[in-house]
Amino acid sequence: MSRVGNSPIEIPENITVEVNDAVVRVKGPKGELVQVISDHVTAKVNGNMLQVTRKDDSKESKARHGLYRALINNMVEGVSKGYKKQLELNGVGFRATSTGQQLELVIGYSHNVLIELPNEIKVSTETERGKAPVISLESHDKQLLGMVASKIRAMRKPEPYKGKGIKYMGESIRRKAGKTAAKK
């Protein structure tokens, strides 16, 4: 039994949710999102609550029940509040600058890395003297935001010896001890 799927989703007053056949459309002040749901589950709006129910008790239906309830809940939260991820650049000479939807990274390669971001994502960079540069990404789409943040992090993953690289804000890196000289 899916415990996540059984709980209803509360819809705030400034959000509209439309369910047509297998398509759920959520509109709000931050944007609009669409999700096609599986034929194993159905979604119904009752007043200011949305309930996701499964059609039978098969293993596939139980698995999809909680999944689609969580995806729709993320959509409702995204168009009302939005999501934010921050990345931190650790390393000597590492810098980040943003102009519009383009992010320019100086992360130790021979050339600067240019990343073109989707229109749904707002990017800003902060550079303070004595602190690591920070990239802030904001969006109403949680899946897209996570994917873009992971692609930026993959440009230079943090290494375990000095901790140089791009990491999520608040992420802790497991550090390793370096080589030690042989003692006689």
174 occurs within a structural domain: no
Give mean pLDDT, residues 50-54. Answer: 91
Residues 34 and 101 both lie in one domain: no
Structural domain contains residue 177: no
* Residues written for the chain: 184
| Residue whose pair of structure tokens reads 């042989």 in the numeric block | 182
Q: What rounded mean pLDDT belongs to the chain?
A: 91
Domain end among 24, 46, 80: 80
Same domain, 75 and 87: no
pLDDT in tens, 111-132: 999 999 999 999 999 999 889 9
Tell me the C-alpha distance between 16 and 106, whole Å: 42
pLDDT in tens, 91-111: 899 999 999 999 999 999 999
For residues 158 and 92, membership in a common domain is answered with: yes
The residue from 56, 80, 104 where one domain ends is 80
Residue 184 is assigned to a structural domain of this protein? no
At 87, is the pLDDT very low, low, confident or very high (cuts 50, 70, 90)?
very high
Q: According to the model, what pLDDT value does residue 3 have?
A: 80
Q: Quote the number of domains for the chain.
A: 2
Q: What is the pLDDT of residues 132-152, one digit of tens each?
A: 999 999 999 999 999 999 999
Residues 24 and 99 in one domain: no
Say whether both 94 and 147 belong to one domain.
Answer: yes
**44 and 117 belong to one structural domain:** no
d(C-alpha 118, C-alpha 29), whole Å? 19
> Residue 134 sits in which domain range?
83-168
CB atoms within 10 A of CB 64: 21
Confidence class of residue 88 from pLDDT cuts 50, 70 and 90?
very high
Look at residue 175 and tell me if it is in a domain.
no
Give the list of residues 6+ apart from residue 130 with CB closer than 8 angstroms, or none.
Answer: none
- How far is CA 48 from each of CA 8, 12, 150, 154, 158, rounded to the nearest angstrom? 10, 7, 34, 40, 44
Do 73 and 87 belong together in one domain? Answer: no
Give the CATH number for residue 126: 3.90.930.12
Q: Average of pLDDT values for 76-90?
A: 94
56: left (phi over 0), alpha (psi -120 to 50) or beta: beta
Residues 24 and 98 in one domain: no
User: How many C-beta atoms lie closer than 10 Å to residue 5's C-beta?
Assistant: 21
Q: Out of 80, 111, 128, pick the residue that ends a domain.
A: 80
User: Does 176 map to a domain?
Assistant: no
Residues 73 and 96 in one domain: no
